[in-house]
Chains A and B, each alone.
Chain A
Amino acid sequence: MTFDLILLQAFTGVALGTIFVLVALGLSLIFGLLTIVNFAHSQFFMLGAYVGVVVLAVTGSFWAALVLVPLVVGALGMVCERVLIRPLYGRGIDYPLLLTFGLGLIILELVRIFAGTEGIPFNTPEALTGAVDLGVFFFPKYRLFLIGVTAAILVALWFFLEKTPYGLIIRAGARDPEIVQVLGVDVSRVWLIVFGIGTGLAALAGVLAAPIRGVFPEMGVPVLVEAFVVTVVGGMGSLLGAVIAGLAVGITVSMTSLFYPEMTTLSMFLLMAVVLVFRPRGLFGRAGVLD
C-alpha cells in the first residue's frame, strides 16, 4: 500500500465528507435555533436531487439547478415550518421530531407516486467529467468541485452569520430567544428563514450528491442516519462541529473502505461510539443543550 494511495483515499474522504457537512450543517443550524431535530431533513435532501432532475430537464444547465434547487426546496421547507411545525413550538421537544418524521414519509411516498420507484440517471456535468492531475495522483474533477463548492458555501455562511445584521440576530437567537424578542425582533420570522436555509442546504447537498449516489426515492434514508452520526460526533447545534465531524466521518469511512472494506458502513458508528464514551456531548457540544 503506497503513500499515494492513502493520500488519494483521504482526499476522496474529504470529498465524501462535504456531503455530510452540508447535510449536517442544515440539521445543526435548525437545531441550534429552533431546538428541533428535523427528521424530514433527509427527504429534503432527496427532494433536492429530484428538483435538480427537473431543472436540468427544463433548462439543460447543471448550474441553474445548483442555484434553483436550494431556493425551491428551501421555500417548500419554509411552508412546512409555517403550516406544520409552528403550532408545536412550546409543546415539548418530542413533538416536532415525530411530526417531521411523518412529513418525511409523506414526501418520500409522494415522490414515489409522481416520479416512480425506479432510479433516474443523473450524469456528471460535461465540464466536470474526467480527472485532474494533482501532481501526486489523478483526482476526479467532480469531487474536486464538491470540495470547492462546499468551501465556498462555508465561507458564505460564515460571512452571513458573522458579518450581517441577520446573522447577528440568528446567533443571538440561538443563545437566548427571549433577548431577541425583547429587542423587538420578530423571532418567528428568524425561525422561518433558518428553517429555509437548513432545508435549502440539504437540497443543495442532494443535487450535488446526485452524480455520485444516483437519484432514487430512498436515497435520503441512509443520509438521515449519517447526518445524525455527524451531529452527535460534532456536537449538537455546533456549526464548526458539523464541519469538522463531517470531514472526519468522510475520511473515516473512506479509509476503512481501503483497509477493512467489510467494516465500511459500520466505521462511522464506531467513531460515534468512541466519541460518545469520551465526550458524551460531542466534540464541540455546548453544555446547556442537553440539560
Chain B
Amino acid sequence: MASETSAARGATGSAGGLKGLVALVTRHRVLCALVVLALLPFLTPYEALAVNILIFGLYAMGFNLIFGYAGMLSFGHAALFGLGAYGCGVPIAKFGVPWFLALPMGIAIAGLASVVIGWFAIRSRGIYFAMITLALSQVVYYTTYQWVSLTGGEDGLRGVNVPAIDIFGLHFDMLNPTTKYYVLFVFAAVAIALFSRILNSPFGAVLEALRENEKRAMACGYDIARTRWLAFILSGLFSGFAGALYAIHLSVVPIETLNYFNSAEVLMITLLGGMGTFFGAFIGAYVYIMLQDVVTVVTVHWQLVIGTLFVVLILFFPRGIWGSFLKWVRA
C-alpha cells in the first residue's frame, strides 16, 4: 500500500523532476483532482460516461477510506451505495420531495445503514468482515426486492425525475448532459474536499496506524472498535452520497445498484486505481468505465474480462495504476 505522505516527504529534498512534480500534485491533491475532473467531459466519448466516472469515482473514494486507508475489506458496499440511491430516489419518485431534501435523505439513510451494518461487522476482522458485510448487504437487497410498492422491486425504481435544479436563483437544465455533469461536479467537489480534509485530520492518522499495526495502535490508547466503526460510517456516507447522485443522474434506480456485483465493482475500481491512494479511486473509475464501454460493444461477456482483470491485478499489480506509479517514481 502506498503512503502518499511519504512520497511527498521523499521528494522535498530533490526539487524538480518527476519526484518534485508528484510531491506538488500530492500537496495540492484536491485542486489537481478538481482540475482533471473539470476537464473530464472532454476526455470521454460522451457526457453520460463522464457522469458515471464521476459518481463511481466518488463511490470508490468512500470505499477506499475503509479498504485502502483502514485496511478493512468490505464486500457489502453496494448496500450503502444502493440505499443512498433509493433513499434519494424514493422520496422524489413516490412523495414528490424536492431534490435538495431528497439528496440529504439518501445520505442519511445510507449513513443509518452503515451504523447498523458496521455495528455487526466491526466485531470481526479480515475475511470474516468481508463475509458478514456481504451477507448483510444481501439482506438489504432482498428486502428492497420484496418491497415492491415502495421500491419497484425487480423492475427498479422509476420516475426519479429531476428535470432542473435551481440554486441561488440560477437555473440548471438537468436534461442537458453537459449542464448535468457540471452540477454533479460541484457536489462531487464538496465531497472530495471534505474527504481530503478527513484524510489529513488526526483521525486520518489513526486510520493509517490501524492499518499498519492494530495491536500497537491499541496499546497506544486507540479504541480500535470505535475507530473502525466511525471509519465504516464515514465510508458509508460518501458511498451513499455517490448513490444519491446516481439516482438523480439516471432518473431510475435499478435493483442492480444493490447487487453484490456492484460491491465487487467498486472493489475492482479501487484496486485498479491503487488502494490507499487519493487519486486511485478516480483513475480506477476512469479506466474501468472506459474499458467497460469499449468491451461491452464487442462482447456480452464483460464479466470474463473483469474476472481476468481481478486475477491479473492481484497476481501482478496489487498496487494498481497510481500505486505502481508512485512506487516507480520513488524508486
Contact = CB atoms under 8 A, between A and B. Distances in A.
Given A87-B315, A273-B120, A280-B124, A102 B307 contact: yes
Nearest to A103: B311
A262 B307 CA distance: 34
A94 B126 contact: yes
A98 interface: yes
Contact of A232 (B128, B142, B143): B128
Interface string A254-291: 00000000100110010011001100110000000011
A269 B309 contact: no
B135 A109 contact: no
A185 interface: no
Give the secondary structure class of B's interface: helix
B311 A99 contact: yes
B6 interface: no
Interface in A72-106: 84, 87-88, 91, 93-95, 97-99, 101-106
A236 B125 CA distance: 12
Contact of A98 (B131, B139, B314): B314
Contacts of B201: none
A242 interface: no
Interface stretch (B53-61, B162-170, B298-306): B298-306
Interface stretch (A158-166, A175-183, A190-198, A223-231): A223-231
Interface residues of A, number: 44
Interface residues of B, number: 35
A228 B143 CA distance: 19
Contacts of A103: 307, 310-311
A276 B132 contact: yes
B242 interface: no
A231 B315 contact: no
B131 to A, nearest CB: 4
A232 B267 contact: no
A240 to B, nearest CB: 18
A199 B73 CA distance: 24
B138 interface: yes
Contacts of A281: 124
B142 to A, nearest CB: 5
A219 interface: no
Contacts of B139: 266, 269
A105 B264 CA distance: 10
A87 B264 CA distance: 22
A276 B120 contact: yes
B135 A94 contact: no
B196 to A, nearest CB: 25
B146 interface: yes
B127 interface: yes
B234 to A, nearest CB: 20
A102 B120 contact: no
A209 B223 CA distance: 46
Interface of A: 31, 36-37, 84, 87-88, 91, 93-95, 97-99, 101-110, 112-113, 221, 225, 228-229, 231-232, 236, 262, 265-266, 269, 272-273, 276-277, 280-281, 290-291
9 contacts: A98-B267, A102-B314, A106-B311, A109-B303, A228-B132, A228-B134, A232-B132, A273-B120, A290-B125
For the complex of A and B, the 9 pairs showing the least CB-CB separation, nearest first, are A102-B310, A105-B307, A106-B307, A109-B304, A228-B131, A102-B311, A99-B314, A37-B127, A280-B123
